[in-house]
Amino acid sequence: MSHKRPPGAPADIKRFRVVQRLVCRCAEAAAAEPEPGVTERQAARRLAVPAHEAMQTAAKATREQAA
């Protein structure tokens, strides 16, 4: 049997806000340096590092909340 928190639990809202801020940073990074001739694929590669860092930060926040 799974024990889940109700939707909208304070921990879930806090985690959502952390992830939301990180996603916004990634979007800002993508929009910050648009250059003529850069393909979507190239732009996506540029986002790979910030996106990975965002996921790591979100995972760390989740672990800290669980502790």
Closest C-alpha to 65, from 3, 2, 17, 1: 17
Give residue 18's pLDDT. 81
Give residue 1's pLDDT. 47
Residues 58/15, Cβ–Cβ less than 8 Å: yes
Give the pLDDT confidence of 20-53 residue by residue, as tens digits: 888 888 778 777 777 889 888 887 777 777 777 7
Domain ranges of the chain: 11-29+39-66
Give residue 13's pLDDT. 84
Give residue 11's pLDDT. 77
User: For the residues 46-65, what does the mean pLDDT come to?
Assistant: 76
